[in-house]
Structure 1
């Protein structure tokens, strides 16, 4: 918690983030996706507020999240809210959003000494373990949501939902839960999930239920893209990123240059996007390659016009400070 206590209110990046992406009622807006909101984005907002000691923003974001996304019959959250009615057409959760919310609640509880926040974090983690962790063959996996991913022939996994620092905190919140095993098996999955010329993990992964064969999920484009970019962020932050992934990212950055990174790479054909990745991708590459030493070279938040790139940039900045 040293970072939260030393930064205090008025951090310029956080103030800019709020100005651009936070509504007065506490809703975090995905400006690149028709101004919808996600449990992931609410989790980011709570995490940033708890990092930069902004309890006013934290409580607003938490209240909106509870009122609009929290399940009535449990402690998880619907993954998406739309400005158009019906606001929540799909009540399925997103494991990464719930993990981030719980992580932020724990940080807020420690910083502001609010026991209720800690109780809420524990309740989320317990529900997540019961509803979203499954045994697939010899592996214990974190499913992306409680519905739709545990399929008859294969389970669908998204390794960018493995927020390694948050999973470590989940293990402390729920000591008898599955979290240490989930982390260990997540590292094994990443080592086995490297495809194409660059040896990169896909956004979406399938695990065959019988053979345990691992392959890019057929129902999604086989790309290292907007989901998978968070894998090096979270695994580096959790100090469990394999050296081979660092080597792959270095090769990509050398081939395309750090200022012309691809928005996506097709892992089957090697094709890259016609457009360059936003600055938030560069922030993740720099963090993955340089750790704490990346801090002076990270792009400023002002370079990112959209919510997702800005979120990646601010997350990479916090991670680099916490890796010191």
Structure 2
């Protein structure tokens, strides 16, 4: 078979000599912007509910709460709208910000009517400020985000036997502490941890995970409120004051969305646990009792978005996307401030990395192309999604600004120097001129730095097999090592292979930002098309930092 393939290669590839050798090339730029839907829903919310920098709850008496200002800030980042961001933040600092940097919760008729801060709002606002500082090149915003986050840590966190937890407000410092599961945001903790270097953010992340796990052990659905004692005992609660019957409603639904966008697999697993407890019928009630029974006939976008998040975390991508559609349809048929906010936020958090999380549906959107007609299903390692997924974030200790000079793939006998590859006029990465050479895309990520580095080579030549002839033999767990000019080495582990049609190459999943150093190793594959002088497919190998 190998000999037959060699003869075919010699005959077919001979016809391409002197051409651009695009047969093993990769598009160098993404196709349609994966963030289009994010921008669309974010702008829709901002256009409808922001008035002179104030986010107005038009269906709730025309007041403004710190939560809404924070949503506006996050969505201005998602919409890439620095002007709107500034107007929202200026209004917030003028009317809501207290002397301790925290935000008063409620404003109405020209004055603050509730001075107490709410930690979810302040946490979201701090996250938005850091993200805006990075996105808009504004160090002042980044510093204000770090400062607001420090105030949250100082005044609205407390140590318990389960770890440091986020209190709903300074009023909850006495044990047993009132606790709102939906206030915890692993992605926000991660954004602020990286920006500040404050170890307490990791402590809050660990404590939040422990409490959420304990609450799901006690009840399959998160509830709007709970209590956490200093000794680590957790209990369901019906309200912030502990009275009433525990319920899964407009607050609790956010828990699953926030944990589904987390980069850590342990956090995502908590979101996935909720999927089995939610009713499976198309119509989903906005509020459920602790046993999943409907408490109302009303529907609300946040309920569908939360089920979408649970399905996405569980790997049920088609079901998740259908629920996101239901959320959008519900928001359109019954417009509300809160529904529109969470339609936009869940779109960003679950499908786009613009808010600094690891969206469970982002890679899946392009993986659907890869597994369509003419493609083979991806082979994946245990615990890794079909499109590679996201592992727990790791510190890229091997990161280096030195260029890569050598690649080794022991399982298939590849031991080759690396050359730099540029982009051709056709928008595709140029293939190496030498059939036995391996190249790395110089305009992309350096191998070993955070993000997806692209490496390419030929599968065969006019005279026989080329350097990546045996690339299809790789299996999850095989290793790849890239040595750099400074003598350091970046090591990777293969997580999956997929064959995709060139005319629908999954550029977004190849080039989308990742929270860890990763590789995309690409060669040509499939049948030879004499009419075009190209192979019809590409093989893409995904590898993550070891």
User: What TM-score do the two structures reach when normalised by structure 1?
Assistant: 0.86
The answer to whether 1:35 aligns with 2:58 is no
Which aligned pairs between 1:96-175 and structure 2 lie closer than 5 A?
96-146=120-170, 148-151=171-174, 153-175=175-197
Q: Distance in 1 between matches of 2:75 and 2:199?
A: 27
Q: Is the 8 A contact 1:140 1:182 kept in 2?
A: yes
CA drift at 1:251? 4.0
CA distance change for structure 1 residues 60 and 44 in 2, over 3 Å: closer, same or farther?
same
Listed one character per residue, the Cα deviations across residues 147-203 of structure 1 (whole Å, up to 9, x for unaligned) are x2122x41111111111111111111221341101111111111110377x611211
Secondary structure in 2 matching 1:156: strand
CA distance change for structure 1 residues 314 and 101 in 2, over 3 Å: closer, same or farther?
same
Q: Distance in 2 between matches of 1:116 and 1:139?
A: 32
CA distance change for structure 1 residues 249 and 171 in 2, over 3 Å: closer, same or farther?
same
2:50 to 22, 46, 70: 22
Listed one character per residue, the Cα deviations across residues 203-225 of structure 1 (whole Å, up to 9, x for unaligned) are 1111233x532112323541111
CA RMSD after TM alignment: 2.6
Which aligned pairs between 1:1-324 and structure 2 lie closer than 5 A?
7=35, 11-23=39-51, 25-71=52-98, 73-83=99-109, 87-146=111-170, 148-151=171-174, 153-194=175-216, 199-209=220-230, 211-217=231-237, 218-219=242-243, 221-239=245-263, 240-241=266-267, 243=269, 245-254=271-280, 257-258=281-282, 260-267=283-290, 271-290=293-312, 293=317, 294-295=320-321, 298-299=324-325, 300=328, 302-319=332-349, 320-322=351-353, 323=359, 324=362
CA distance change for structure 1 residues 9 and 313 in 2, over 3 Å: closer, same or farther?
closer
User: What TM-score do the two structures reach when normalised by structure 2?
Assistant: 0.53
Listed one character per residue, the Cα deviations across residues 253-305 of structure 1 (whole Å, up to 9, x for unaligned) are 31xx13x21222222x6642222331232122113212594457623353450
Q: Distance in 1 between matches of 2:277 and 2:293?
A: 15
Q: Distance in 2 between matches of 1:143 and 1:215?
A: 15
Q: Distance in 2 between matches of 1:201 and 1:302?
A: 27
Q: Is the 8 A contact 2:156 2:167 kept in 1?
A: yes
Q: Distance in 2 between matches of 1:281 and 1:10?
A: 19
Listed one character per residue, the Cα deviations across residues 71-119 of structure 1 (whole Å, up to 9, x for unaligned) are 0x22111111123x6x212211111111111111111111111111011
Listed one character per residue, the Cα deviations across residues 96-145 of structure 1 (whole Å, up to 9, x for unaligned) are 11111111111111111111101101110111111111112342111011
Q: Is the 8 A contact 1:224 1:264 kept in 2?
A: yes
Q: Is the 8 A contact 1:96 1:144 kept in 2?
A: yes
Where do 5+ consecutive residues of structure 1 fail to align?
none
Q: Is the 8 A contact 1:125 1:173 kept in 2?
A: no
CA drift at 1:309? 1.1
Q: Is the 8 A contact 1:28 1:37 kept in 2?
A: yes
Higher strand fraction (1 or 2): 2
CA drift at 1:6? 7.7
Higher helix fraction (1 or 2): 1
Where do 5+ consecutive residues of structure 2 fail to align?
1-29, 354-358, 363-546
Secondary structure in 1 matching 2:77: helix
CA distance change for structure 1 residues 41 and 221 in 2, over 3 Å: closer, same or farther?
farther
Q: Distance in 2 between matches of 1:57 and 1:132?
A: 29
